[in-house]
Amino acid sequence: MPAGVATSLTSRKVFLKRPVKPYAVTPHSTINQVRFLHPGYIEKENTLLVLPALDATISDGNNADSGIRGVHHDTARVACCILADCRWDGYFSLTRDGPAIDEGPDDILLASQYFFRLDNPDEIHDGHGGGPSNEGIEQYRYPVVPLFEHFRFPPQLPPSWMGAPIPPAAIDKVSVRDQTCRLTCSSAPNEIAHIVPAAHEGWWQSNAMFLHTARPDQSMNTDCPENALLLRRDVHKLWDRHKFALVPKQGRWVVHVLDYGRTAELQDNYHNLELQPLQDVRPEFLLARFALSILSEMAIFVRQPLPRAVVMVQGGSGEAKVRSLSGKDCYALFGRPSKNRSQSPKKRSRSAATQDEDDEQRRESVDDEDAHAAWNREQLCETEMMDSEDGSSDGEEEPRGRPRKRRRFSSFSPPTPLSARGLSASGPSLAHSSAPTTGSEPLHVITTNFWGVDRVHCRKEGDKTEDMETAGFKPRSP
């Protein structure tokens, strides 16, 4: 026994950490909100946007003051500018026709409501598209973008977004470039997260977003490193649900929480959290994502059954036109939530032709998802890929939507084909069988079914299991 070490062996218990304390449920009534109003509509019909007041002022000790909360001025202004078809000259006032407020871009808005104003609206409309009107209000009326599909990416960024530069990177592989989650700095389990989602690839192409990449010829879809971040799996889920956005504040990229939950966990952990250093990510894509979050989840202006003036992009020509919609038309187009069959599947009778058409669209959708998932897998490091022994899948993104064939990868080289190991691909379809090999030990063939797809596993006695691709090796029934 080393010198100086006591010879008596006393019993000592292991130190245990106490359970993590749960966050208290936060009543919605205790969270202040700031309303942003359209000056061209009468009271109670003019709510343009509502944002939670989560931004805190700085106290004397250079810490956040928990008692005073509001909304970051420029973040709210850019959100309203997006709704007004990217009019970056928009400003806030306390009254419908009052002067602009004095707060700077990085100051906090503390009032309960503001009017978002444009000095020279593009279009002047008579009345409310068939609804009631008040004399003098029409001069302030500007059209509003109703959905992300009608959002036209602007020719230039707002000034504050140009003041937060992101350096380029010499590495195209996202996992090598970022290495850790850009929010939490976690090393695992992380996933590749699109900024502009693959589901909006049509919008990406129609707005020529590939021109903002280093290689436009290789960025015709959303699968490019400039349009991706490395995020921890749970953070990725929140990102997909538009719970937060990434915006510049004081020249630095931070998290801005858009939707508060039942507890204060999200805002306490992430709101105004400065990101890990970004590289090669284009601010144009972050602005597009911010617009997607605002237009998908936050904008309530067009969801009410009220007459509205809106900007709509024509499907064929791509030309944007201003339309005055009645309350009935507005609610029919934008007020009802979209029904996604993958979220709430319902069985219903349909004709054979309709069934065939749906099946074809489903196959095309699966092919597109496979293509994007393949790009995600290419971006993962070998250290993030599945370990061949325990079957874990830290680096691989979980499949979404309909279950389909799950591809499994490992860091070792592809296994030897069955034919080269003395096995026939046309062997009997048994749950377990043995086959002779050139060596002294028998080689066992095990056929399993995973998500409806037969898989063949081969191993020798005492060896690790190796997964074999089933293409060309699926056993035939006797």
Where do the structural domains in the chain lie, given as residue ranges? Answer: 28-146, 161-298, 407-478
Give dist(CA 423, CA 434) in Å, integer.
10
Backbone phi and psi for residue 440, each to the nearest 5 degrees, phi listed first: -85, -20
Going 65 to 69 to 72 to 73, the CA torsion angle's sign is negative
Q: Cβ(273)–Cβ(254) under 8 Å? A: yes
pTM given for the model: 0.70
Residue 163, pLDDT score: 92
Residue 253, pLDDT score: 98
pLDDT along the chain (478 residues), means of 10: 60 90 76 92 94 85 71 98 96 95 96 94 42 62 94 95 93 94 94 96 95 92 95 96 96 94 88 96 98 89 92 84 92 68 37 45 49 65 42 43 44 41 40 45 44 42 42 42
Q: Cβ(225)–Cβ(196) under 8 Å? A: no
Residue 100, pLDDT score: 97
Residue 298, pLDDT score: 78
Q: What is the dihedral of CA 239, 253, 214, 179, to 10 degrees?
A: -70
Residue 352, pLDDT score: 41
